[in-house]
Structure 1
Amino acid sequence: MGNLIRAEFRKIFTTKLWWALLIPTVVLALGWSWIWAALATSLSDKITSDPEMQQLGVSVNTLPLSVFGFARAINISTIFPMIMGGLALSSEISRRTITTSYLTAPSRVSLLTSKLITYVVFGLLYGVVITAFASLGIAIGSDKALLPDVGGWALMASVGILETLLWTLLAIGVGALIGNVVGSVLTLLLYSLMLENLIDLVLPGHWAGILPNGAANGLTGSVASKIFLDTVPPIENPTLRDGVERVVRGVSGAAGAFDWWASGLIFAGWMAVFFGLGWLISQRRDIT
């Protein structure tokens, strides 16, 4: 197994794909979080300096508005590790190098297990990079008072790394099912960036949070919403409170999502389904 894992790492490191995807990951995580944080700072300054808001006693310059940029940056940046996962098996199937891999490995199970271990490592690596540069982006773009506390940041970083890992593994399954590089990448990108967003427009209540992208966004978005709402003074009116929560969840990218732990379980379930189906297909696929 050790030799197979080393071979999988060698396959990745001898190509330019891993760092070709890592560079835009860094740029997107840093840029997206910085833009959102800068907008939050500008909005905070505008509201705080507005005479009417001052008369009403409204002040937002101590609320952790930057967490919305943190969550949004993590969610969008996962498209690159997702692409990497989608190519894990589909590229070998398309080029027919999977035949050699199967024939030289003791069994298909051992080969697929070595790929799983290898891409778990890369999923975690990308997750750490994404959360690190998203953190840097909000630190640069926000006033210090708008940043989350250490506990909030640690929870956001943890669920961000988990989301990245789950997307990577889910994409491996999709790539194995489709077995084509272009088809796998297009399917993953079109679904995550466009199709599910269109479906969400017609889904009521929490239905959006049951779908893969909604559940994934719910991991970070629900945490960001909780961090923000915990700093807001209690709202006694239940209707107003529910309305504020819906708006905050929408801003954080978690509209219709469940709590972060429930979203994580739902997304892990989707990952298990696609990865499991990809595993079964790979076990039975004709390589002649």
Structure 2
Amino acid sequence: MSNLVRSELLKIRTTSTWWWLAIGAFLSIAMAFPLNAWLFNTAVEGNAEDVGLTGDAASAPAQAANLYTSGQYLGLMFVMLIGILMVTNEFFHQTATTTFLATPRRTAVIVSKLIAASLLGFVFWLVTTVIDLGAGAIFLTLNDHGTLLGEWEVQRALLLNLMAYAIWTVLGVGIGTLITNQLGAVITASVLYLIGTQVVSVLFFMLSSWLDSLAVLKWQVLWPAVASQVMITPGENEMLPAWWVGVLVLIGYALVSGIIGVLLTRRRDIS
């Protein structure tokens, strides 16, 4: 298994795709960090309600957790695309037959891709978190708040963010086994992630208004992109469920996608 995992990592390292995705992840931090810094200042200066923040969500530790996980939204999409490419590259470059001839145990091949994808997710999390920690600590210290890294809410958000990165790479592998056409898989996954998330939010908002119940908005967590945001959001929010609900939803998606990926690959005709 270790040899299979190393070979999967080698396949990714020898292409330029991951460089472009890494640059995209860096740019997502560059875009998100200034906004989160502005939200932090707005919240701690007593104007939290002006930006829709109430209760614990407006506290300094909660906003520091948001600051230290800047860029997560697009970052997760990029690691998902890595997982997709790890599978679809085999079909795009017509190396699937060679791979499965060299390793007839198809389950082992998919499991190695899942492990390698999770490792890459960890690397992306580590690099983006180091950037966020450096920039966040400087920003908070210059504004006389200290680093706030000793707060459990901040530490929990960082750890759960790691879980989110690992799970989304696994989801990417699952999508790649479901849609083997590389272009089709990348476009479908990206549209569902970027546009589908907004559509889901609008639909739940409309349903909540129709039923006159804010509790309906909590069911958005069933959409994986929303679940990953919920799991790193500390404090209580009447429009979002508890953080652990997002964790359970994402774990469920990871298990289902992993099982489906193994079953499809074992039954698929590779020629």
Which range, TM-score by smaller chain?
0.7 to 0.9
Query: Could you say which residue in structure 2 is the equivalent of 1:41?
Result: 41
Give the alignment of 1:12-23 within 5 angstroms: 12-23=12-23
Q: Alpha-carbon deviations, 1:109-142, whole Å to 9, x = none?
A: 2222222221121111112222222233333444
Cα separation, 2, equivalents of 1:179 and 1:127: 26
How far the C-alpha of 1:46 sits from its partner, in A, is: 8.5
Cα separation, 2, equivalents of 1:156 and 1:72: 11
Number of residue pairs aligned between Structure 1 and Structure 2? 247
Find runs of 4+ consecutive structure 1 residues off by over 6 angstroms: none
* Structure 1 counterpart of 2:85, one-letter code: L
Give the alignment of 1:240-251 within 5 angstroms: 245-246=237-238
Question: Normalising to structure 2: TM-score of the pair?
Answer: 0.81
Q: SS at 2:15's partner residue? A: coil
How far the C-alpha of 1:71 sits from its partner, in A, is: 4.4
How far the C-alpha of 1:197 sits from its partner, in A, is: 2.0
Give the alignment of 1:231-270 within 5 angstroms: 245-246=237-238, 255-256=239-240, 258-270=241-253
Cα separation, 2, equivalents of 1:118 and 1:189: 21
* Structure 2 counterpart of 1:177, one-letter code: L
Q: Alpha-carbon deviations, 1:197-230, whole Å to 9, x = none?
A: 2122222232101221221211112x2xx2xx6x
Give the alignment of 1:75-224 within 5 angstroms: 75-142=73-140, 143-145=143-145, 148-150=148-150, 151-203=152-204, 204-221=216-233, 223=234
Cα separation, 1, equivalents of 2:248 and 2:18: 28
Cα separation, 1, equivalents of 2:106 and 2:31: 41
Query: Could you say which residue in structure 2 is the equivalent of 1:11?
Result: 11
Query: Which of 60, 64, 84 is 1:63 aligned to?
Result: 60
Q: Which moved more, 1:267-276 or 1:27-36?
A: 27-36
Cα separation, 2, equivalents of 1:5 and 1:36: 37
Structure 2 unaligned runs (5+)? 49-57, 205-215
Q: Residues 85 and 153 of structure 1: is their aligned pair in 2 closer, same or farther, counting only changes over 3 Å? A: same
Query: Could you say which residue in structure 1 is the equivalent of 2:263?
Result: 280
Q: SS at 1:202's partner residue? A: helix
Q: Which moved more, 1:195-204 or 1:139-148?
A: 139-148
Backbone CA RMSD of aligned residues? 2.5
Q: Alpha-carbon deviations, 1:226-264, whole Å to 9, x = none?
A: 2xx6xxxxxxxxxxxxxxx33xxxxxxxx43x2222211
Cα separation, 1, equivalents of 2:144 and 2:190: 35
Q: Residues 18 and 25 of structure 1: is their aligned pair in 2 closer, same or farther, counting only changes over 3 Å? A: same
Cα separation, 2, equivalents of 1:18 and 1:146: 35
Cα separation, 1, equivalents of 2:11 and 2:33: 32
Give 1 or 2 for the bigger CA radius of gyration. 1
* 8 Å contact kept, 2:68–2:158: no
Query: Could you say which residue in structure 2 is the equivalent of 1:25?
Result: 25
Q: Alpha-carbon deviations, 1:76-117, whole Å to 9, x = none?
A: 321211111111101212222111100111421222222222
Aligned residues with identical type, % of pairs: 25
* Structure 1 counterpart of 2:174, one-letter code: G
* Structure 2 counterpart of 1:63, one-letter code: A
How far the C-alpha of 1:169 sits from its partner, in A, is: 0.3
Cα separation, 1, equivalents of 2:222 and 2:42: 34
Query: Could you say which residue in structure 2 is the equivalent of 1:53?
Result: none
Q: SS at 1:15's partner residue? A: coil
Q: Residues 161 and 276 of structure 1: is their aligned pair in 2 closer, same or farther, counting only changes over 3 Å? A: same
Q: Residues 147 and 47 of structure 1: is their aligned pair in 2 closer, same or farther, counting only changes over 3 Å? A: farther
